[in-house]
Structure 1
């Protein structure tokens, strides 16, 4: 009973066309295709949104030496 062959699929397709009409059925299939296309695009965008390591600027390997100094007024508090 669970094995549907080619004749069963053809009968089912004819019934769907009769129930929904040719125009409405093609509109539904167009909507399904748009949904699949947007799903694939979303999956591709998700792959692109992975964090990338920061790019190094040439000559940006310099260090800055800084020394913290306190005023005498702050040091006494």
Structure 2
């Protein structure tokens, strides 16, 4: 292995045949509000991951913790936020 440099290692491809429904997806929950000048301000209120079974988990940026949801859409409705896929 001393003669092999990192850039010379062969490329390894994993899970070429994975169904997209079986892969977790990241999302944001974003709320809109108006500032003092009546300009629209968008704020990310949580980071989330959609799980292969359809459920979702979120982590709040406001320090209110972790959430477990039936779906990303249900998290967005409950938190009154827009669902933005990453």
Name the TM tier (shorter chain). Answer: under 0.3
Normalized per residue, the structure richer in helix is 1
Higher Cα radius of gyration: 1
Instruction: Kindly indicate whether structure 1 or structure 2 has the higher relative contact order, using CA contacts under 8 Å at least 6 residues apart.
Output: 2
- What is the TM-score normalised by the length of structure 1? 0.21
Normalized per residue, the structure richer in strand is 2
